Copies of this chain bind each other. A is one copy, B any other.
Amino acid sequence: MASATIRDVAQKAGVGVGTVSRVLNNSASVSLNTRHKVLAAIDELEFSPNLAARRLSRGKTMVIGALVPYFTNPSVVRRLQGVVSVVANSQYDLILFDVESVERRDVFLRNVPRRQLVDGLLLISLMPTDTEVAYLQESGLLAVLIDAHHPMMHRVVVDNVVGGYQATKHLLDLGHRRIGYISDFLDDPFNSPVRDRFTGYLQALDEAGVTFRPEYHQQGEHGRFQARALTHQLLDLPEPPTAIFAYSDTQAIGVIEAARERGITIPNDLSVIGFDNIEAAEYLHITTIRQALYESGISGCELLLRVMADPMPERQVITLPIELVQRHTTAPPGG
């Protein structure tokens, strides 16, 4: 029941604790013979080192943390899956922090470094403020952003401006001129992609000589149901859009549901393009901008591990590709 300690092992093997520690840590300077003796004792006692003690002594926790804004968001989950896949093959364990509100996020970012709970931190789809970055920085906790921007941080990103541009351009190329944009709140300080895609949307519109109409941009909290409501508002307009660019696939699903509720046929009466290419987008044949979600988790975690092994002063920026995936929810206006 009560686990054996390194002292028990040392005694049983007839060596000092230092030696046991050495074989535990694969130190080269242990004779084959004593190593065997120690190993035998370890085996017999079913000993395995107490992590807390090791951590305290080494000053390292051997765990990395992943901070996510909404663990229920499919794209976040997908990124996390990438993270998990690399953690599983590392020496580290993964501790998951879900922060569903701004206050919690704040509290969290201020406390994690101090608590010395993790050796490294992954911030997923969450842009820290300058203050928070400064705090992280001076705490010495290594961190990497995934799907978020900050000039002072290592990060894995996609070009969301180009993404927004491509989505809109696709609609424009199809012949649409009345193009709506349904998105999260533009002024959310922690969400930079939402602004970037909007910028891309504006650029494409401008390039095509189409004037932006403020009423075509509906914003609300992220989510399928919210997007559905926003779509109804768009469709209630005297001159409703013929195409809608949704900030995410989740929201695109809301758009589709709203259309169905009104008996509007997609893509004949209304085109919809999403963003992310989550699995549901494939099931529902939603045209979308694919971004490598899973890979972003992999890259981000690998980068963090690399930085932890060998801190690099220059900020690393990994830009992942995006790509239009044309499916069945977009077509020329009027069918």
Contacts and interface: CB of A to CB of B under 8 A. Distances in A.
Contacts of A72: 81
B98 A95 contact: no
Interface string A217-238: 0000000000000000000000
Given A3-B114, A115-B48, A117-B51, A96 B98 contact: no
Given A111-B48, A283-B253, A283-B284, A93 B71 contact: no
A43 interface: no
A217 B77 CA distance: 33
Interface stretch (A53-61, A178-186, A300-308, A319-327): A53-61
Number of copies: 2
Contacts of A279: 280
Contacts of A114: 3, 46-48
A52 B55 contact: yes
A138 B1 contact: yes
Contact of A84 (B48, B98, B104): B98
Contacts of A85: 98
**From A87, A97, A115, A138, residue with most partner B Cβ within 10 Å:** A115
Contact of A52 (B46, B49, B61, B283): B61
Contacts of A211: none
A11 interface: no
Contacts of A47: 114
A155 to B, nearest CB: 23
Given A63-B95, A88-B98, A88-B100, A140 B1 contact: yes
A302 B140 CA distance: 35
Interface string A11-41: 0000000000000000000000000000000
Interface in A75-94: 77, 80-81, 84-85, 87-88, 93-94
Nearest to A70: B81
Contact of A71 (B48, B84, B97, B104): B84
A51 B94 contact: no
B84 A96 contact: yes
9 contacts: A50-B115, A51-B117, A52-B61, A52-B116, A55-B55, A84-B96, A87-B98, A88-B100, A94-B95
